Amino acid sequence: MHNRNSSNTIAEIEKELRYISGIIKQRGREILNNYPITAPQFIALQWLLEEGDLTLGELSNKINLAFSTTTDLVDRMEKNEVVERIRDTKDRRVVRIHLLEKGKSIINEVIQKRQEYLGQVLENVSDTDVDHLSSILNLLHQHMKKVEEK
Nearest to 48 by CA among 107, 94, 2, 8: 107
- How many Cβ atoms sit within 10 Å of the Cβ of residue 56? 18
pLDDT computed for residue 149 by the predictor: 83
Interatomic CA distance for residues 31 and 1, integer angstroms: 46
- How many Cβ atoms sit within 10 Å of the Cβ of residue 113? 17
What's the pLDDT tens digit per position in 45-56?
999 999 999 999
- Which has the higher per-residue pLDDT, 133 or 36? 133
Confidence of residue 4 (pLDDT cuts 50, 70, 90): low
What's the pLDDT tens digit per position in 71-109?
999 999 999 999 999 998 888 889 999 999 999 999 999
Query: Which residues have C-beta within 8 Å of that of residue 95, sequence separation ≥ 6?
Result: 55, 56, 85, 86, 87, 88
Interatomic CA distance for residues 121 and 131, integer angstroms: 15
Domain range annotation of the chain: 7-149
- Which has the higher per-residue pLDDT, 2 or 15? 15
Report the chain's mean pLDDT, rounded to a whole number.
92
Q: Within 13 Å and on the Cβ side, how many CA atoms surround 25?
A: 8
Decide if pLDDT at 42 tops 80. yes
- The topology under which CATH files domain 7-149 is Arc Repressor Mutant, subunit A (1.10.10)
Interatomic CA distance for residues 85 and 48, integer angstroms: 12
Decide if pLDDT at 118 tops 80. yes
pLDDT computed for residue 3 by the predictor: 62
pLDDT computed for residue 71 by the predictor: 95
Query: Which residues have C-beta within 8 Å of that of residue 57, sequence separation ≥ 6?
Result: 67
pLDDT computed for residue 6 by the predictor: 86
pLDDT computed for residue 104 by the predictor: 96
Ramachandran angles phi, psi of 87, nearest 5°: -75, 140
Decide if pLDDT at 115 tops 60. yes
